[in-house]
Chain A
């Protein structure tokens, strides 16, 4: 976790078009933002473009940052909006995310999966098979270590929805693991 005071100072300096401040902000957040976006849009070229747009927006409109949330949360919020827009645009242009997910679901049958030695890898594969909504909230909570309030702000959903969505994401993950031959005994 970065020093929030420092992040805010960087934003103030970026508002004054300080390139070294932008460089420092990129060093701290660019890879995380890119990873977050890629797990939503699932295409590297699109993720690169969206992540660049996020930081371009920061460069051009750093003055709009009101400081109500941490800089990291603000960046992920902007990234989420842009990633979802890119995904929507792509769906309109005939690429169907659900169809792609279904294709992935047709992967290994339980017998083949059981042969996989690495249980952790199976877990990773099952997380990747979750819907975009479920995968996104799992990433925000576990990888980005966001609180319930922060997830609510990034996804623009009520606090209770954050809790239930995470709960159902975990339930769905258990179902996928079970289908892959791993019974976790929950739920």
Chain B
């Protein structure tokens, strides 16, 4: 390699380092090396303003970008699966009651008793509604109602985006009820709420499987 070639090579190396020299992101050794070279070669120093122009244009180009960005709450809500969302809601609901057991006060106990009474009334109303739906008749454990006698017909996995509301609505449209889950793989075991024929059951399972926005997979049970 001739002296001229060596000089050119050194110059190229210095030119390659100039952007970092200008931004102050070179290590101490390289910073000293570039500074010394620029001292000896003023013609290369004339490139510094070019680098500064590039820098300010790049910064301006980036800062011109505005965005509507997701909040932490939105991100976290999007991350949760339907099951996690329900568990999170339950956790938030139960949390205030913890204080009752750690440091009960007369007021808190009275409030708790009233809340318990309301919950019992709601449960009673809910049970009455469930019994009156689907034309079911009253049944005891020894004589189960129609729904309970229906066998599980399929396993369904829901998409991560599906909300509890949409899942409930779609299942109801197809007269399906969840009987067990979540099972391994995120599946839920379902059965029909009415006495549909085998062909009708097949048609409904096929229809629900097409709801790709909500349903990830449908596995018929043999």
Partners in one complex: yes
B100 is an interface residue with CB less than 8 A from chain A: no
A173 is an interface residue with CB less than 8 A from chain B: yes
Count chain B residues whose beta carbon lies closer than 8 angstroms to a beta carbon of A: 38
Distance in angstroms between the alpha carbons of A171 and B79 in the assembled complex: 43
Contacting B58 at CB < 8 Å: which of A31, A60, A139, A146? A139
A141 is an interface residue with CB less than 8 A from chain B: yes
**Which of A50-58, A64-72, A80-88, A91-99 is the contact stretch?**
A50-58
Distance in angstroms between the alpha carbons of A23 and B69 in the assembled complex: 12
Query: Which residues on A sit within 8 Å (CB–CB) of B12?
Result: 167
Count chain A residues whose beta carbon lies closer than 8 angstroms to a beta carbon of B: 43
A56 touches B79 (CB 8 A): yes
Q: How far is the CB of A178 from chain B (nearest CB, A)?
A: 13
A163 touches B17 (CB 8 A): yes
Main secondary structure of the interface of B (DSSP, over half): helix
Query: Which residues on B sit within 8 Å (CB–CB) of A22?
Result: 72, 75-76
**Binary flags per residue of B64-80, CB closer than 8 Å to A gives 1, else 0:** 01011111110110110
B69 touches A128 (CB 8 A): no
A sample of 28 inter-chain contacts (CB < 8 A) reads: A23-B72, A31-B67, A34-B65, A35-B67, A38-B65, A44-B67, A51-B69, A51-B70, A56-B75, A56-B79, A59-B79, A60-B79, A123-B57, A124-B61, A127-B54, A128-B61, A139-B62, A141-B20, A142-B19, A143-B58, A145-B23, A148-B20, A148-B25, A148-B26, A167-B15, A167-B16, A184-B50, A186-B50
Q: Which 10 A-B pairs have the closest CB atoms?
A: A123-B57, A142-B58, A23-B72, A147-B25, A163-B16, A22-B72, A142-B55, A143-B62, A124-B61, A167-B16
Measuring CB to CB, which residues of chain B are less than 8 angstroms from any residue of chain A? 12-13, 15-17, 19-20, 23-27, 46-47, 50-51, 53-62, 65, 67-73, 75-76, 78-79
